Structure 1
Amino acid sequence: MFPLAGAVTILFWLAVLVLIVGLWRRARLWRKGRKARVNWLGLLAIPKRYFVDLHHIVARDPYIARTHMAVAGGAIAALVVVGINYGLLLYSPWLDWLIAIAALIMLSGSVFVWLRRRNPPARLSRGAWSRLPYSLAAFALGLVLVGVITGMSLPVSGLVAGFAALILLLLLAGTAELALGIGSGGPMKHAVAGLLHLGLHPRPERFTHPSTGLKLLDLQGGEFGVEKPADFRWNQLLSFDACVQCGKCEAACPAFAAGQPLNPKKLIQDLVVGMTGGSDAAYAGSPSPGLSIGKHFGAPNAAILPTLVAPETLWSCTTCRACVQECPMLIEHVDAIVDLRRFETLAHGDIPGKGPETLAHLRETGTVGGFPHAARTHWAVDLDVRQAQPGEAIDILLVAGEGVFDMRYQRTLRALVRSLKAAKVDFALLGTLERDTGDTARRLGDEATFQTLAKGNIATLDSLDFKRIVTADPHVLNSLRNEYPALGGRYAVLHHTTLLAELTRSGALTLGAREDPRPITYHDPCYLGRYNGEIDAPRALLAGMGVAVREMERSGLRGRCCGGGGGAPLTDIPGKRRIPDIRVDDARETGAGIIAVACPNCTAMLEGVVGERPEILDIAELVAASLEA
């Protein structure tokens, strides 16, 4: 038997041993985190989550999708056959040829990795990641030669012996990348950590249905968020290790685009540094704008702020979930950011800008601006709309949201009421019984105020007799639909565009053709699209009015944030540009004269853009105008 076969067997089992030791070392780091409830049967779901859920995201970039399928698919197939043929000492020539074929596929994929890395997009990290095409190619080429030489059963000669030495060197170079990578934190640690992350995900429900609500804190049990890396749950620490530093989160982040000091990729890598201990000096990607690399230090039991992560990085986030939507490894960046905010708010009360004032208003009055509750119905005083009362049955309960105190948003609500009346809908206002849902408080990290407001609202809603709730505020929608159930509040909640679209389909509303000739583009609110999956109803309403929507480059589930979520307008972290200015530029590129919106925050942010711009109109206003026409 040719000696190469025995050498490959030894190398295979040595690599397995090194991989196990490296995984054990990494697992020790993950276990520094808090306990987490996990369903270990999730490990059995890894193949489905990898080939379906993960690749559904990767497939958005066809080049990388095909490259990844070739590299990862070829590597997995080749390693499985190597394990069978050489690990079990079978030494079958037929299996050798299968190894050669699989490795050849991997090698072809490695070429495309190299081509992408020749002139990489700015979002990709360099450093150790730049050597990946070469180590992958070396490993693949080594396996190809193993399969060919042993498959052909060549006689021993000096030439063949020389090839054998070359093959072993190639295999050593490639094997070291994977086997040593997991323990040393190299690029290929994502291959193992990523697969485990898919099986033990901190938010496993996202694999069966949309899951965007923040997790409830056990305040009575002493949970106050995250101060240090060890305060994260252990499977969150595992998830940070799954990052491939592709920078898709970076490219999608509105704060990063605006030059604010937040890069989601850098934040995740900082948390990895905190978990392992050390500094960010080895980071080779784009920094958070305005912040230097190499000056941040962390340790598992050391406070994350301000030595590892700058406070302004946390408060730049709009919680739009664009980073989460784009992440091919399904990392939950927003959950981590809010966990960090919670500790800063609950333990230190350290919030920039107008955040403290707003939270004080919410605690004292149940409104973001300290307004009297009697003013909640002033906008509808001439519309003959009843207020819901205990014991009176209604079909639709209209929950207006905090925008009710804003005269601009009142125009949207009045238009919605006209449409509901035209459709003869049985509805009533929550009116003076309404309190803020707690969305802003929760995003600013004040979980205590959120829970107080939510429990009060649940008690109010449970005292009323209604079938469904409708709201024109996606932030209200998200709180009631996705976050109140954890506190016992379970309701059927609709956005106003969903209800209006339903009424047009049933024939209760008949839309007329628009007389205004100006082209329209539609801006998807993050909390309606990404958080709640509603992107069709607003477009169906516009189509019903004869509008051919001029889509912006980033739209639907991948729409760009207006900058109004997550309390960002309150913390007001400066950057090079304002996020709404960037979004209006997106709209200008379409040539539209009107930006249709479906959220009071979006209306306020986009109307705050100075200079010549398209007119901002809510879908409800366009529908009401169509009915009148």
Structure 2
Amino acid sequence: MLETLLPILIFTALALAVIGAVRRIRLWRQGRPSRVSLFKGLVALPRRYLVDLHHVVGRDKMISNTHVATAGGFVAAAVLMILVHGLGIANPLLGGLLLLASASMFVGSLFVARRRLNPPARLSKGSWMRLPKSLMAFSLGVFLITLPTVGLLPEGLLEGSGSWLLALVLAGVVAWGLGEMFFGMTWGGPMKHAFAGALHLAFHRRAERFSTKKGGAGRSTGLKALNLEDEAAPLGVEKPADFTWNQLLGFDACVQCGRCEAVCPAFAAGQPLNPKKLIQDMVVGMAGGSDAAYAGSPHPSQGLGGKPVGEHAGSPHGPIVALQGKALVDADTLWSCTTCRACVEECPMMIEHVDAIVDMRRHLTLERGKTPNKGAEVLDNLIATDNPGGFDPGSRLNWAADLSLPLMADLKQVDVLLWLGDGAFDMRNQRTLRALVKVLRAAEVDFAVLGTEERDSGDVARRLGDEATFQSLAKRNIATLAQYRFLQIVTCDPHSFHVLGNEYGELGGHYEVRHHSTFIAELFDAGRLTFASWKGGSVTYHDPCYLGRYNGEYEAPRNVLKALGIEVKEMERSSYRSRCCGGGGGAPITDIPGKQRIPDMRMNDVKESGAELVAVGCPQCTAMLEGVVDASAEVRDIAELVADALVERPAGDASDGPRRPAATTTAEEVTV
């Protein structure tokens, strides 16, 4: 009986899965075109899955091992089941391998069930709660029907008039498993992530994120530029169909594990943003309908005028943020994001949440002019004065009137161009800049500044969605830099560091850029700086998002502190899991209210570490953390700590290098 039923069940499930796959692909293809290589993507898929994806999944060893046993067992069992029970190739070797694969899957499903007994709040429930049972049904059913093929049960046990009931029960169990594993994989069940996730890895929007050789994944964090000259291209994303098709595919790959939710600073602060819910909102919009079936944590906005689950709805060609009536997302959800990339860093499916949020902001800013609170004022200032504060551009160097800073306009050629950033207009950050100048002079670095020729890097404009103002600022800065010759740019602002090094390239500006902590570490290693021993109290270090998660620099700042004789007391959330200060993405400008402030939470992390001083490496972080009332720790930039510890080297020290080695590379020729 089973010999007849099993092939019917298996190939019916496969046929339905193929139909579902075609339907699913049509949903994705509603998005705009995106150039990908079909062949290269599919060839790269195994490595991206086994190396890059598991590099993230492996941070939780229990879940990683569970995933290997369950997913690996399922893939092997599915292929072998088709051969053994679908095509009737029932030899003992294939049968034995099928038993091992289904047993591995069953063991993995036990751990999935254990996790779902009392799931953490970040995990979505609903249909996901049935997944352990479906995994067990498939693996156990396949295991039992395979036993006779290897001689562990008599061949006739499931045949004859007396065994039809047992055969039907086993067929029912297998059908249950097949329905979830095959049918649900392409029609929208919990296993959908396996189908969409695999193709998302193959056709990822940022292929450069994936490793091509031993040593781990690559890094791709710069925002993609809009083609402002293409009148047919949308200015940002108004509706789900405005995303590229592989962005829609990426949203559909979400496994609703809630890792993004657990690390999102805006969610923790009670602002109306949950990255997991936002991605599921996009899936709802792609397919059409409402979010009534969503069974995870909502956007934490009910107490702040937001809509509860079940009241968001949309369609592929309808607006994501509506001016009135039902919409997929409330505007405040998009403006709550600090663009810290904690969600992207933690996502096991490698979804690009920040790209999607900025794409939607671009529409609100460029098409609707709907930038909240002080957003419009800041953008107007950038257009009128080239800085977000609206200060007189001619006053950019007022803080350094007594320092006689060398100007690029006078020297034309130097080793280091010191990029001041808009912290030059902030009295607190001017102390950091003065300290950095002192350090550079102590090391006899050949440097100069642009002075009044320097403009805002465009970071704030771009994160607020004003791509036009960003590109205008960037192109004018690139034209200015093209007049001079230098080897590298050094800056104490990670936001300028990131934009200059990673986002100007698309517009023709290719530079070697150093964060000041990296440069100071290099100067110390070269013997050009000498420090007195640290005499202060305990110190912790706060990782800036745009230096750490965006650019992978975690060690240099710590190496500088170590060189000062400081033993860093690490906070629980540090390195790639550092909590954002709340100052990125224009968040202080849009100022969306929550239940608490993000910098308050970060300074509480500092307090829990027991440190008396928190070292920082970013003007935004300094401003946000120093703004915390009743803070338990002092906030100092690394440059300030280094400047205070400098020991003057004896004249004629052998470590002295020539003050000005020849700079032979133009700004246009230096490539990151």
Shorter-chain TM-score tier:
over 0.9
SS at match of 2:614: strand
Alignment counterpart, residue 629 of structure 2, candidates 606, 610, 627: 610
Match among 252, 261, 264 for residue 241 of structure 1: 252
- In structure 1, the partner of 2:580 is 561
What does 1:512-527 correspond to in 2, within 5 Å? 512-516=532-536, 518-527=537-546
Matching of residues 190-269 of structure 1 within 5 Å:
190-208=193-211, 209-222=218-231, 223=233, 224-269=235-280
**Among the aligned pairs, what percent are the same residue?**
57
Matches within 5 A, 1:82-481: 82-152=81-151, 153-155=154-156, 156-157=159-160, 160-208=163-211, 209-222=218-231, 223=233, 224-290=235-301, 291=306, 292-306=308-322, 307-389=327-409, 392-481=412-501
Q: CA deviation at 1:118?
A: 0.5
Supply the distance in 1 between the matched residues of 2:120 and 2:317 (Cα, whole angstroms): 35
The aligned residue for residue 623 of structure 1 is 642
**Residue identity opposite 1:507 in structure 2:** G
Deviation at 1:147, TM superposition (A): 1.9
- What is the alpha-carbon distance in structure 2 between the residues aligned to residue 239 and residue 356 of structure 1? 32
Q: Distance in 2 between matches of 1:64 and 1:506?
A: 44
SS in 2 for 1:394: coil
Q: Please give the secondary structure, in 2, of the residue aligned with 1:541.
A: helix
What whole-Å deviation, never above 9, does each CA across 1:528-569 have from its counterpart, x for those lacking one?
Answer: 000011100000011111111111111111111000000000
Contact in 2 for aligned 1:262/1:313 (Cα 8 Å):
yes
Q: Structure 1 residues 159 and 481 mapped into 2: Cα distance closer, same or farther (>3 Å)?
A: farther
Instruction: Report how many aligned residue pairs link the two structures.
Output: 626
**Matching residue of 1:74:** 73
Distance 2:191 2:541 in 1: 41
One-letter identity of the residue aligned with 2:634: E
Contact 1:399 1:431 in 2 (8 A): no
- Give the corresponding residue for 1:597: 616
Q: Which amino acid is 1:418 matched to?
A: K
Q: CA deviation at 1:11?
A: 2.1
Mapped partners of 2:252, 2:631: distance in 1: 46
1:17 maps to 15
| Mapped contact 2:523–2:529 kept (Cα < 8 A) | yes
Gaps of 5+ in 1: none
Shift of 1:289: 0.4
Deviation at 1:150, TM superposition (A): 2.7
Stretch of structure 1 that moved more, 387-396 or 616-625: 387-396
Letter in 1 for 2:262: A
The CA distance in 2 between the partners of 1:463 and 1:206, in whole Å, is: 33
Determine whether 1:28 maps to 2:31: no
Counterpart secondary structure, 1:588: helix
Larger deviation, residues 322-331 vs 605-614: 605-614
Q: Following TM superposition, where does structure 1 have runs of at least 4 consecutive aligned residues deviating by more than 6 angstroms?
A: none
Deviation for aligned residue 1:159: 6.1
Please say if 1:548 is aligned against 2:554. Answer: no
CA–CA separation in structure 1 for the residues paired with 2:96 and 2:162: 21
Question: What is the letter of the counterpart of residue 448 of structure 1?
Answer: A
Instruction: State how far apart, in whole Å, the 1-side matches of 2:341 and 2:496 are.
Output: 17
The question of whether the paired residues in 2 share the 8 Å contact of 1:107 and 1:140 is answered with: yes
Give the gaps of 5 or more residues in structure 2: 212-217, 649-672
- Residue 157 of structure 1, CA deviation: 4.6
TM-score under structure 2 length normalisation: 0.92
SS of aligned partner of 2:519: helix
Structure 1 position 482, deviation (Å): 0.5
Question: Deviation of residue 390 (structure 1)?
Answer: 6.7
Residue 511 of structure 1 and its aligned partner are, at CA, apart by: 2.1
- Root-mean-square deviation (CA), in Å? 1.3
TM-score after normalising by structure 1: 0.98
Moved more, 441-450 or 377-386: 377-386
